[in-house]
Amino acid sequence: MRLLQLLAQTFPNSESASTEIINLEAILSLPKGTEHFVADIHGEHEAFLHILRNASGNIKRKVYDLFGDTLPKQEMRDLCTLIYYPEKRLEMIEESSEEDLSGFYARTLLQLIQVCQSVSSKYTRSKVRKALPSQFAYIIEELLHESPNDEDKDAYVQRIVETIVQIGQARNFITAICNVIHKLSIDQLHILGDIFDRGPGAHIIMDYLLSRENFDLQWGNHDALWMGAAAGQDACIAIVLRLSLRFANLATLEEGYGINLLPLATFAMETYADDPCLQFRPIDNGQKTTDNSQKTTDDEKRLRLIAQMHKAISIIQFKLEGQLVRQHPEWNIDRRGTLENIDFGRGTYRFEGKDYPLLDTLFPTVGKDDPYRLTPEEEELMKRLHHSFRISEKLQKHIRCLFRHGSMFLVSNSNLLFHASVPLNADGSFRQVEIDGKMYEGRELMQQVEFKMRAASLSPTLSKGEGDGPRQFTPPLEGRGRPRDFFWYLWCGPDSPLFDKNRMATFERYFLAEPATHHEEKGAYYQLRENPAVCSRILDHFEVEGETRHIINGHVPVHASQGENPIKADGMLMVIDGGFSKSYHHTTGIAGYTLVYHSRGFQLIQHEPFTSTAEAVAKGTDIKSSTQIVEMMGRRIRVRDTDRGRQIQEQIKELRSLLHAYRHGIIKENTKK
């Protein structure tokens, strides 16, 4: 009765309840919306946004299906480019054309209406209406629901289009319809982690996500790292800075989030003035920039400064991590990549009982007695960097978005989504991991990790002395920074579901030439995920139901050039990190995978490198891709067959109960509403 009384506030009489039942029953019969899966974007905003604009080739397929028999291929390519980038493409066309464009506008509007009708056909009018821009909603809706091929309405549609062109609104209408096509081509966007690091536009990606609603996130290790930095965990801040400098990517920090890097630059120039910092030259497209023949003097000065800053923050990172290892023995973080193993006199480093020569022996800030103690200058630098991260309003806004839309894992339409791994033992059983003195495994472990992350983020926004005015708070009872340390553990902890390796070999990669010292042993999950029985056990444990079930991961790049298959365990598991990041292209041979799940089944799209938005607009080039059909259903999947469908059926059941209560006088109807 309590439920029915609450429901009656929304549906106050039998007529309104009946109307909603009819509407919901009709929705159940619609084809399921298209789901789009993307992982490991790593700041490559241009490629990411292009993939979303073309819906991983779905829009191109629609255009070719509609006009394959009536338009030349070049015109279809031009139409696709216009849909992807309407403002930029129209501007280019208008600047290059000396003729009257009225005919072009009219033809294009009619073509776009057909494309929009096609992508909107699986949605209710109500949902389509919500996707329309308010200023043009009425006219676009009229055009969408009238066929230009209908003789009775042909003159009506033609006159609308002619009037749009005559009154100078064609450009605005074309842009508006293209944006509607973008929105309706993807019903739900799933991002399986790692939005941040390497590429220059993580903040642009986050700004885009803030503009849309139908997406979810499964956090990756790089996302957790930025969450920790935003929460004020100093080791996470140092690692974020190091990674940005390693890839010469300062745009996200400076332009995106307003992080003041001047104190770091000043400290680095003073401390490492006579140090060539050769091991810290930034990486460009996967290669260290050691060839200076094509660089100007200004370029070389900039690279030199970045290398100095890179080394400065790296040494600080190693010190802060050494302190955390001492403070948290319960995490069993491997101590091999630490400063205490350096023999300063001999210039060697001891690794697993053997001494290796150091590639760089200049450590002006590292004390022999306590190598992990920050110098007074380093302490002051970290205070200023800490403050800069904490007061960045845009960064804090973006991290709130990660928490609002994100989770450690998600079960959606018989698919289990998570970024990296579920820690396993060698025999395939779930590995027990200690958190706060209790043991957790599998689903409970993932849930507890998420709880800890959210709890750490809910610690006071600013500790005492970090800001001014009403945003000042008292430090948490556990001690300053303690809850936030968990973000660092997720980055490099051996049992972290976001890492799951025996150690992080960052120090060795910088300072030792021997490749064997760089090896990081992956956890058992990465070896066992090829086994269908193991995957089936994981799906059972996470209560994933359905005739066809899948695990979908990212995190580890698929080396397609070496013959690795992203589809594993007889199709039960799919890895869609093919290497969005440009720094991976030389090893993976591709530029990422995306997965599309529409009403007829799954399609895996393998992408080749995307050059630039400017080239895509000017030349009409697209991401070259090949589509691999993972699984096609024997029948078309309807909304009734999805998680949403099951929720709708529960709503229908409740509404039928309400209708029964109205008809038998158990609840009185309000006929005035």
Q: What is the pLDDT of residue 673?
A: 63
Mean pLDDT of 84-96: 89
Q: Model confidence over 150-162: pLDDT tens digits? A: 666 778 888 888 8
Q: What is the pLDDT of residue 61?
A: 87
Q: Going by C-beta distance under 8 Å and a sequence separation of 6 or more, which residues neighbour residue 447?
A: 408
Least confident of 83-92, 340-349, 553-562: 553-562
Tokens 């839309």 appear where? 405
The 3-state DSSP class for residue 517 equals: helix
Q: At 478, is the pLDDT very low, low, confident or very high (cuts 50, 70, 90)?
A: very low
Q: What is the pLDDT of residue 139?
A: 87
Q: What percent of the chain has pLDDT over 90?
A: 61
Q: Model confidence over 195-230: pLDDT tens digits? A: 999 889 999 999 999 998 889 999 999 999 999 999
Q: At 586, is the pLDDT very low, low, confident or very high (cuts 50, 70, 90)?
A: low
Count of beta carbons in the 10 Å neighbourhood of residue 171:
18
Radius of gyration in angstroms for the set of CA atoms belonging to the chain, rounded to a whole number: 28
Q: At 547, is the pLDDT very low, low, confident or very high (cuts 50, 70, 90)?
A: confident
- What pairing do the DSSP bridges indicate for beta strands 409-412 and 415-418? antiparallel
Least confident of 85-94, 385-394, 631-640: 631-640
542 or 153, which is more confident = 542
Mean pLDDT (the chain, rounded): 87
pLDDT at 314 over 80: yes
pLDDT at 603 over 50: yes
**CA pair distance 250, 241, nearest whole angstrom:** 9
Torsion region of 271: left, alpha or beta (phi above 0 gives left; psi -120 to 50 gives alpha): alpha
pLDDT at 418 over 80: yes
Q: Model confidence over 276-308: pLDDT tens digits? A: 999 999 986 444 444 455 557 778 889 999 999
pLDDT at 148 over 70: no
For the chain, what percentages of helix, strand and coil (3-state, to nearest 5) are there? 50, 10, 35
- C-alpha distance from residue 498 to each of 525, 550, 608 (Å): 12, 19, 27
Least confident of 279-288, 457-466, 482-491, 497-506: 457-466
Structure tokens at 283: 């990486």
Torsion region of 602: left, alpha or beta (phi above 0 gives left; psi -120 to 50 gives alpha): beta
Q: At 76, is the pLDDT very low, low, confident or very high (cuts 50, 70, 90)?
A: very high
Amino acid letter, residue 566 = P
